[in-house]
Amino acid sequence: MQIYDVNITELIPYAKNPRKNDAAVDATAASIKEFGFKVPIVIDRNNVIVAGHTRLKAASRLGLKTVPCVIADDLSDEQIKAFRLADNKTAELACWDLQLLGEELAEITDIDMSLFAFDPDKLQADNEWFKDREQEGKSHEDGNEEYNNFVDKFEQKKTTDDCYTPAIVYNAISGWVQNEYNVNPATFIRPFYPGGDYTNEKYPPGCIVMDNPPFSILAEIVRFYTERNIRFFLFAPSLTIFSSSSSSCAVVVGAPVTYENGAVVATSFITNLEDGKRFRSAPDLYEAVKAADEENRKQNRTELPKYSYPDYVVTAAGLQYLSKHGVQFSASLSETERISALDMQKEYGKAIFGNGYLISEQKAAEKAAAEKAAAEKAAAEKAAAEKATAYKWDLSEREKEIVRRLSNSN
């Protein structure tokens, strides 16, 4: 990407720009003054602005003569129109984690962040507005089908923040918790539901929070319960679980859970029901969750039948498999006879997709050997690919010293 310095008098604001940006000019100018012009303006071949109208106004206010620009000469006219809208719209799909934002702002002591419109009260209101629109579907405008169709393209995919755990999966997990820790399921509470506020929930003495919280604020939730000595067993994303479990025990299982919105997440758990453990595996919990998830998926989908054929039948799909894994197999005209279906299939109104061939006994034996060779090659190729992409990290001397210290302390 090449960046050009362009005289601001040569830049042409897009005449039909639907974005009203006057309220953002002061903050943008303050940002440019403090940090420099770090985000170039995007223009087309004719110097018409595609993205960066606010930055141009801010540059004019600061008295700049030239500004950095990128020419979007790889986009069609329609793509430029779409990008001009998308560049603005996608920013609206995010909101702030106010706690983390507060921590970041507290660490900035020498720069006045209010110059960049960081008003805590306004941020809180903006977050509530975002959540209301997300939950109530108010991003659409009545009677504006063209706008609504465009907005739909940028709707965020739902995650476990947006959904509830299927009952069959929850029951399997709660049953394991009950047996593993010898606790009464009557003490389980679930504060994470649409419209719920876990910080204002009433937590009876001795209760256990057994629920699937929003993963995006999991560390904040764990901290909240830990500080208040509230027992919990919480769902967590498996691969990043250690980021949220520093003060608790990570029960790492990585079992796939298909949540009610269709998101499939490798799920583990964080708990303070374990005494003194930093982490542990739980094979029986993995099996329980996996079985429950499979049953849930089975209940909510139509199973497609799977067909297998005798060695005397050759299908195009079977030959594709042999070719893919480098195995030769052929048959002559005299050794084959084309069929559209086996007699047994005809009784059920079924057929071989795309037709097939019956082959001789000798060719059937060759085919079986070819399929075995292909399967062995497939397994070897998979193992080789995994080995080729694997990288083994080594411990530094500092880390080895930590290991020795930990070993000597026990």
Q: What's the number of CA atoms in the CB half-sphere (13 Å) around residue 264?
A: 7
Cα–Cα distance for residue pair 374/173, rounded to 1 Å: 40
Cα–Cα distance for residue pair 218/235, rounded to 1 Å: 9
- Count of residues making up the chain: 410
83 contact partners, CB below 8 Å, separation of at least 6:
42, 50, 51, 72, 75
Task: Report yes or no on whether pTM surpasses 0.75.
Answer: no
Tell which residue, 112, 111, 116, 122, has the closest CA to residue 30.
116
Cα–Cα distance for residue pair 277/54, rounded to 1 Å: 53
Cα–Cα distance for residue pair 83/50, rounded to 1 Å: 8
Q: What value, to the nearest 5°, has the Cα angle with vertex 251 and ends 249 and 252?
A: 130
Output 150 or 195, whichever has higher pLDDT: 195
pLDDT per residue over 223-253, tens digit each?
999 999 999 999 998 878 887 777 799 999 9
Cα–Cα distance for residue pair 158/93, rounded to 1 Å: 12
Element (DSSP H or E) covering residue 10? none
Q: Cα–Cα distances in Å, from 216 out to 203, 223, 244, 310?
A: 22, 14, 10, 51
What pLDDT sits at residue 34?
Answer: 86
Output 326 or 155, whichever has higher pLDDT: 326
70-79, 132-141, 272-281, 353-362: the lowest-pLDDT one: 132-141
Tell me the residue type at 332.
S
Tell me the residue type at 191.
P
* pLDDT at residue 146 tops 70: no
* pLDDT at residue 155 tops 60: no
* pLDDT at residue 153 tops 90: no
Instruction: Quote the mean pLDDT of the chain.
Output: 83
First to last CA, the chain: 56
The alpha carbon dihedral of 170, 246, 196, 180 has a sign of positive
Q: Which residue has the tokens 């982490």?
A: 279
Cα–Cα distance for residue pair 196/209, rounded to 1 Å: 14
CB 338, CB 356: distance < 8 Å? yes
What pLDDT sits at residue 251?
Answer: 94
As beta bridge partners, residue 233 has 210, 271
* pLDDT at residue 140 tops 70: no
CA 358 and chain centroid, separation? 47
Q: What value, to the nearest 5°, has the Cα angle with vertex 211 and ends 207 and 212?
A: 155
Q: What value, to the nearest 5°, has the Cα angle with vertex 137 and ends 133 and 139?
A: 65
Domains of the chain in sequence order: 4-152 (3.90.1530.10), 161-299 (no CATH), 313-389 (no CATH)
Cα–Cα distance for residue pair 342/352, rounded to 1 Å: 8
Name the token pair of 406.
Answer: 């930990």
